[in-house]
Structure 1
Amino acid sequence: MSTAAETPPHTVVITGRGGAGRTTVAAATALRSARAGRRTLLVAADDPHRGLDELLGTRLGPVPGAVGPDGVTGRLHAMRLDPQAAFREEAGRLLGRAKTVFDLFGVEPLEEDELTALPGAGKLTLLRALREHTASGEWQTVVVDAPSAAETIGAFALPEQLARYVARLLPQERRAARSLRPILAAVAGVPMPADWLFEGAAWAEAELGELRAAAESPELSVRLVATPGSASAPELRLARAGLALYGHRVDAVIANRVVPAPPAEASGREDGFLGRLHAAQREELAAMREELAAGAATPLLELPHLGRDPRGWEDLARLADAADADAADGSGLGADGSADPPPRSHVEDRLAADGLLVWHVPLPGAARPDLDLVRRGDELLVAVGPYRRTLPLPSALRRCTVAGAGLRDAVLSVRFRPDPGLWPAARPQT
């Protein structure tokens, strides 16, 4: 029988728009996993007003603590992230490494109490928590109550973006010349970068590599939470496209607070209002299903409106039961949240047929008006609405020119034609 240490835990990231009920869905997802016998950790990554504390009836801290009703004792734990404390700890460590520089310039270093988290600290705290708790071997499922979709996509993108900045500021060839530093300093007559700078760059690259591996783990899946309404479909489409741009597939969309159909015999103004609301939601849910069916189909799960804000384990159990019912119908996911890995980009060789190489990049949710492409050297800048990513071209495509692009069946296909000046000439037939 496998253990958590032998099998990497599955990480379920719950995100979506603000007010859609992400925290409730995350708690119900964690409860469902624990009821299935899996050792589960629930992480509150975006809960400044302690809504999860009120929902669970306990005060969460930075260390996992046991929670849950009878029947899951010992299998369900919860914690909350503290970006301020994490930032002070990390900044203190960095300032310690830079003490020599401060002394050199006569600068008084900041005290720990003076440090306040900078923008982006919450994203790094989330990524470090993913790395730490998925590598601990203690959990089989990690459920994250994550920030809004835009913030979550920004967190997933951050390690790659920072690594690019480090590489630009201190490229490998410059670091390779560190052995010549004394000679260069004597010839140029100016101080050259000290060893701590090169060591710092290497440390940053290793750290960012680990954070990126945690964010891009094949064991990580994303679920989007939405309340059926007029703005749900467009927001879901862009969120799916942004996640796909960074290699994440949405394994389910959860329609939260779905109003049940009123009894057929009901009458009166209030029941008429509920009937109209139910009909409007069914229409919106149909549109969402049609949108999710395009390309790589994504299941749509429905959680009922309880008639009030959920409070306590009994309400969470009702929502977990609804998710179990969806799974029993074959329309949901397993209790561990497992799903197929996201489709990957690949190059299609069509040189013999029409003299082209075609780079296929899966982008479920993308629409033509939201797309923008720019070739920049050996890279392709792809923008989908507010989300942008710089993709390094596969080696064969670097010797080609862009011949066009199209979006079909949720796949962006960029056509490349070999550059005669760079492409090897065909050998004569003998």
Structure 2
Amino acid sequence: MRTLLVTGPGGSGRTTVAAATALAAARDGRKVLLLTGDAAVPADGAPATLTVHRPDPAAHFRQELLALQAHAAPALELLGAAPLDDDELTPLPGSAASAYLKALRDAARGDWDLLVADLPPLPEAIALLALPEQLRRYLRRLLPPERQAARALRPMLAQLAGVPMPPDGLYEAAARKDADLAAVQDLVHAPSASVRLVVEPGPAADDALRTARAGLALHGLALDTLVANRVLPAASPDPWLAALAAQQQTHLKELYGDGTPAVHEVPHLGRDPRTAGDLALLRAPGPRAAPVPAPRWTVEDRRDTDGVLVWRIPLPGAAKPDLGLVRRGDELVLTVGPFRRVVPLPAALRRCTVAGAALRDGELRVRFAPDPGLWPRTP
């Protein structure tokens, strides 16, 4: 299944472009699923091969909370807690992200030729795509799977420790949640998945592109196409419109020269697209035959020349003032602007100490010096 993850600044028209892309692919005979939170996506005249699914955060929140309440019912009864009813529940902040992750998980298990995911605006979209990895890390820290292996010893351990041990159901629930998150993570990071960024040519487009490229690279995601939306006609007898078009062309040249794999221009219709026919006029770009590969993090062995190993991390668009780097045990905490990722160190680097770092030409190079007390001795 090919997956297109569509995002962009608020108001850039990302939902319209996502819908136009899905509609064009469906008219070509592909079986397409469009995920969107926008209830106003035009569906009239769409072929039967296009399915539009809108996640329902409120319903998902109620379902999850009632299931948790049922699972914890014995403990709640002992505490004298009054159970919550379905009709009194309202979604809490974060419910939309949880509902969207479930929709992505269900899509990963479906039979589709193309999935077009209309994501939230930047930078919420990048935070959403990074959420499965973060939640899985939290689960592993709070409920290490290897501790469940000692199930036969649990009664004895409880007596020796003098405290109750976590019930088996807790580990089983964590394992199910981990599997669900892993399915989303595999979908997002699959070679057939890539991100499509929608911007409207203007002063804010350059900043949005830099932010997106840095955040996506930090989380190992590929940006394959930049969609320049609402492009005005280059020639107009109206001086005011001609001046706006000229300003757009100036920013378009900057976008073309910013190292993005591909730039696709979508024309301004002179009105808001309201029908499937309007979406067809946009000539939205279809999926690339070969998705752009995600940036690779590599370890370069320079012990013979400089006495260090260098972890090379591509971060196009990152700026030095927005960069943060902290070694935490066997993990690296890396901050780029509003984004943060905690990544485990490769095995070889765990036996080293950080000797410095530098950001050059869109690549972070972290130098590691082998620790004599930990590094294998050569005979």
TM-score range, shorter chain: over 0.9
Number of the residue aligned with 1:202: 175
Q: Counterparts in 2 of 1:373-412, with a 5 A limit? A: 373-412=325-364
Q: Residue type of the partner of 1:351?
A: R
Alignment counterpart, residue 261 of structure 1, candidates 213, 234, 251: 234
SS in structure 2 at match of 1:149: coil
**Which amino acid is the alignment partner of residue 249 of structure 1?**
A
The separation in 1 between residues aligned to 2:276 and 2:177, in whole angstroms, is 42
CA pair 24-242 structure 1, distance change in 2 beyond 3 A: same
- In the alignment, the residues of structure 2 paired with residue 166 and residue 408 of structure 1 have an alpha-carbon distance, to the nearest angstrom, of 35
Unaligned runs of 5+ in 1: 1-8, 58-66, 324-332
Report the number of matched residues.
379
Match runs of 1:154-193 below 5 Å: 154-172=127-145, 174-193=147-166
Distance 1:158 1:150 in 2: 13
Question: Percent identity over the alignment?
Answer: 52
Task: For 1:211-360, list aligned pairs within 5 A.
Answer: 211-263=184-236, 266=237, 271-291=238-258, 293=259, 297-320=260-283, 323=284, 334-335=286-287, 338-360=290-312
Q: Give 2:92's match in structure 1, choosing from 105, 111, 118.
A: 118
Amino acid at match of 2:52: A
Secondary structure at the aligned position of 1:161 is classed as helix
User: In the alignment, is the contact (CA less than 8 A) between 2:217 and 2:315 conserved in 1?
Assistant: yes
Measured on the aligned residues, the alpha-carbon RMSD in Å equals 2.0
Change (3 A) 1:300 1:287: same
Deviation at 1:180, TM superposition (A): 3.2
- Provide the rounded CA distance (Å) in 2 between the counterparts of 1:131 and 1:171: 23
Letter in 1 for 2:143: L
String of CA shifts for 1:203-260, please: whole Å, max 9, x gaps.
Answer: 3323322232233222221111111111110122112211111111111111111111
Q: Which residue of 1 aligns with 2:30?
A: 38
Distance in structure 2 (CA, Å) of the matches to 1:203 and 1:79:
24
The 5 Å alignment of 1:145-156 reads: 145-156=118-129
Query: Which of 110, 117, 120 is residue 136 of structure 1 equivalent to?
Result: 110
After superposing the two structures, state which structure 1 stretch, 357-366 or 103-112, moved more: 103-112
Equivalent pair of 2:24/2:286 in contact (CA under 8 Å): no
CA distance in 2 between partners of 1:206 and 1:301 (Å): 37
Greater mean alpha carbon deviation, residues 376-385 or residues 218-227? 218-227
| TM-aligned CA distance change 1:237 to 1:337, over 3 Å | farther
Aligned CA distance change for structure 1 residues 116 and 217 (closer, same or farther; 3 Å): farther
Of 20, 23, 29, the residue aligned with 2:21 is 29
Q: Which of these residues, 40, 46, 52, is aligned with residue 78 of structure 1?
A: 52
Q: Give the whole-Å Cα distance in 2 for the aligned partners of 1:93 and 1:38.
A: 37
What is residue 96 of structure 1 aligned with on the other side? 70
- Match of 2:10, SS state, is coil
CA distance in 1, matches of 2:247, 2:160: 76
Distance 1:338 1:398 in 2: 35
With the length of structure 2 as denominator, give the TM-score of the two structures.
Answer: 0.93
Task: Give, in whole Å, the separation in 2 of the partners of 1:189 and 1:374.
Answer: 38
- Please say which of residues 382-391 and 364-373 is displaced more in the overlay: 364-373
Q: Which amino acid aligns with 2:76?
A: F
| Residue pair 2:108, 2:183 contacting (<8 A) in 1 also | no
Matched, 1:16 2:8: yes
Q: Distance in 1 between matches of 2:100 and 2:290?
A: 21
Change (3 A) 1:353 1:259: same
Q: TM-score, normalised by structure 1?
A: 0.83
The aligned counterpart of 2:40 is 51
The residue type paired with residue 87 of structure 2 is D
Divergent runs of 4+, >6 A: none
Kindly indicate whether the alpha-carbon contact (under 8 Å) linking 1:10 and 1:337 is maintained by their aligned counterparts in 2: no
Secondary structure of residue in 2 paired with 1:341: coil
Once the two structures are TM-superposed, the CA of residue 141 in structure 1 deviates from its matched residue by: 0.8
